[in-house]
């Protein structure tokens, strides 16, 4: 059986990689994808905790329900976010986040 | 080494390689395909943990719907290779060490405080999907109904944002 901590460490690694992608990439679509990666990492730890929960507690499946809600919110976020990306690309003629600098001094 | 452990390490390696590839690829479409690899590997891990319904939803919604949306937008905007611009000094010198520190901190906290988390006693027991739907329509019925409003608002938001301006 796989120890729960292995899943948690993998989740931490994936989250860290998501942060690195968020900081270092310049393309607005890739930055958005790194957010999805971080959401996925959190989902992994949710399911791992749900699996580790003893069945007698009566809350064993709560973690999986949370994951379903996170997926719903992520889908809604993707729809709105990609709308914003299309709008930004149309207005700025570029997908580079450095070019989105109207509020910059 | 038992079979589940081997499967775990194969899928974990696949997920980490996909995530690293997402960072290193220059072209956004390659990054999107790497992300699909991560999501499929995670769906395999969910199956390994016995969360069959979550695994199915992960593949259908994440690997299917959301990533199709991403690929569609990349093609719609004709996104080419990422142009290199200078990083800010903070990101250039502090970014990687700080991200590593964050990962280390998360992993350390998880392992020390998670040491009390019991390991599941039964191997490969599937979570009954019927129980999930029962919970979803009894205990969690209000959040569940609220998600329908959320999706409605998201649909309207996406329509308003992406429509062409009438001149």
CATH of the domain at A62: 1.10.287.3510
Q: Which chain A residues are closer than 8 Å to B107 by Cβ?
A: 8-9, 12-13
Q: Is residue A34 part of a domain?
A: yes
Domain residue limits at B71? 1-81
Cα B46 from Cα A49, distance rounded (Å): 12
Q: Is residue B90 part of a domain?
A: no
Q: Is residue A11 part of a domain?
A: yes
Q: Is residue B93 part of a domain?
A: no
**Two structure tokens written together for B15:** 């997920």
Domain residue limits at A8? 4-97
Give the count of domains, chain A.
Answer: 1
This prediction has a pTM of 0.89
Q: Which residue of B has its CA nearest to A72?
A: B147
The winner for highest mean pLDDT among A19-23, A87-91, B10-14, B84-88 is B10-14
Distance of residue A4 Cα from the nearest chain B Cα, in angstroms: 6
**Sequence-ordered list of residues with C-beta below 8 angstroms from that of B62, at least 6 positions apart, any chain:** A36, A40, A71, A74, B39, B43
DSSP letters along A64-92, please?
HHHHHHHHHHHHHHHHHHHHHHHHHHHHH
How sure is the predictor about A92, in pLDDT bands with cuts at 50, 70 and 90?
confident
Q: How far is CA B137 from CA A43, A53, B131, B133, B144, in A?
A: 21, 21, 10, 6, 8
Of A65, A84, A98, the CB nearest to B85: A98
Q: Is residue B92 part of a domain?
A: no
Of A20, A37, A82, the CB nearest to B99: A20
Q: Is residue B70 part of a domain?
A: yes
Q: Is residue B14 part of a domain?
A: yes
Give ipTM to 2 decimals. 0.90
Q: Is residue B54 part of a domain?
A: yes
pLDDT digits (tens, 9 = 90+) for B26-45: 888 999 999 999 999 999 99
Q: Which residue of A has its CA nearest to B93?
A: A24
pLDDT recorded at residue B167: 61
Question: Under an 8 A CB cutoff, do A14 and B15 touch?
Answer: yes
Q: Is residue A103 part of a domain?
A: no
- Shared domain for B77 and B144, answered yes or no, is no
Q: Is residue B37 part of a domain?
A: yes
Of A3, A36, A44, the CB nearest to B35: A36
Distance of residue B167 Cα from the nearest chain A Cα, in angstroms: 15
**Two structure tokens written together for B158:** 């996406």
**DSSP state letter for A96:** B
Give the count of domains, chain B.
Answer: 2
Q: Which residue of B has its CA nearest to A82?
A: B73
Q: Which chain B residues are closer than 8 Å to A30 by Cβ?
A: 22, 28, 31, 82
- Shared domain for B76 and B143, answered yes or no, is no
Average pLDDT value over all residues in chain B: 85
Stretch A4-12: mean pLDDT, rounded?
88
């Amino acid at each position: 059986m796989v120890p729960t901590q292995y899943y948690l460490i993998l989740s931490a690694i994936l989250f860290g990689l998501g942060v690195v992608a968020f900081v270092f990439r310049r393309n607005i679509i890739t930055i958005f994808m790194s957010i999805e990666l971080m959401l996925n990492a959190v989902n992994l730890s949710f399911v791992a905790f749900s699996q580790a929960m003893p069945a007698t507690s009566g809350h064993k499946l709560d973690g999986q329900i949370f994951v379903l809600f996170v997926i719903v919110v992520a889908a809604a976020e993707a729809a709105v976010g990609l709308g914003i990306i299309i709008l930004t690309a149309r207005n700025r003629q570029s997908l580079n986040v450095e070019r989105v600098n109207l509020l910059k001094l | 080494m038992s079979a589940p452990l081997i499967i775990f390490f194969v899928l974990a390696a696949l997920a980490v390689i996909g995530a690293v590839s997402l960072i290193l690829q220059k072209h956004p479409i390659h990054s999107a395909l790497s992300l699909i690899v991560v999501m499929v590997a995670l769906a395999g891990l969910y199956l390994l943990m016995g969360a069959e319904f979550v695994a199915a939803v992960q593949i259908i919604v994440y690997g299917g719907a959301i990533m199709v949306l991403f690929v569609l937008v990349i093609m719609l905007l004709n996104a080419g290779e990422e142009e290199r611009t200078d990083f800010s000094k903070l990101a250039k010198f502090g970014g990687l060490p700080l991200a590593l520190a964050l990962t280390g901190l998360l992993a350390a906290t998880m392992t020390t405080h998670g040491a009390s988390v019991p390991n599941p006693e039964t191997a490969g027991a599937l979570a009954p999907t019927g129980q999930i739907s029962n919970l979803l329509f009894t205990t969690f019925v209000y959040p569940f109904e609220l998600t329908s409003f959320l999706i409605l608002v998201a649909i309207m938001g996406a329509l308003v944002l992406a429509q062409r301006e009438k001149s």
